[in-house]
């Protein structure tokens, strides 16, 4: 398992990497005590190596950075969120079958940009309810 192709994001690096970055991003929201997160990590790292030139693989610790998961409606771990052009375009939650996670990466690479063009993302702080 190689962690070199997965970046750790926090409140200071989120915007430049995900919201304003040039590449699509898949983010694994996790916590250190999450058993299912540990179960999914080897596959996440493997796919990060397989797709390293096409999509950024990143992780966010929800305990250390609670504002990010709150903003994007993350309710459990692990949650895998796919972003294209800064917009969330797909989500998977829980210990999913590794093949499904890989297929989701492939589909988001294929259709993510088109999906982002047809998605209107309204951040919670812009709704007037925050």
Catalytic, 34? Answer: yes
Catalytic, 115? Answer: no
Instruction: Pick the catalytic residue from 9, 26, 37, 55.
Output: 37
CA distance linking residue 28 with residue 77, whole number of Å? 8
CA distance linking residue 75 with residue 52, whole number of Å? 27
Strand partners, 80: 28, 92
Q: Which residues of 17-42 are buried (b: 16+ CB within 10 A; e: fewer)?
A: bbeebeebbbbbbbeeebeebeebbe
List residues with catalytic annotation. 34, 37
């Amino acid at each position: 398992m190689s962690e070199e192709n997965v970046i750790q994001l926090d409140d200071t690096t989120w915007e430049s990497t995900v919201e304003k970055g040039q590449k699509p991003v898949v983010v694994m929201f996790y916590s250190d005590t999450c058993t299912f997160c540990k179960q999914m990590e080897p596959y996440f790292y493997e796919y990060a190596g397989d797709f390293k030139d096409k999509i950024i693989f990143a992780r966010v610790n929800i305990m250390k950075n609670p504002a990010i998961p709150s903003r994007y409606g993350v309710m459990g771990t692990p949650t895998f969120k796919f972003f294209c052009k800064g917009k969330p375009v797909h989500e998977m939650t829980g210990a999913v079958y590794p093949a499904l996670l890989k297929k989701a990466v492939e589909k988001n690479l294929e259709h993510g940009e088109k999906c982002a063009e047809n998605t209107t993302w309204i951040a919670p702080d812009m709704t007037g309810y925050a």
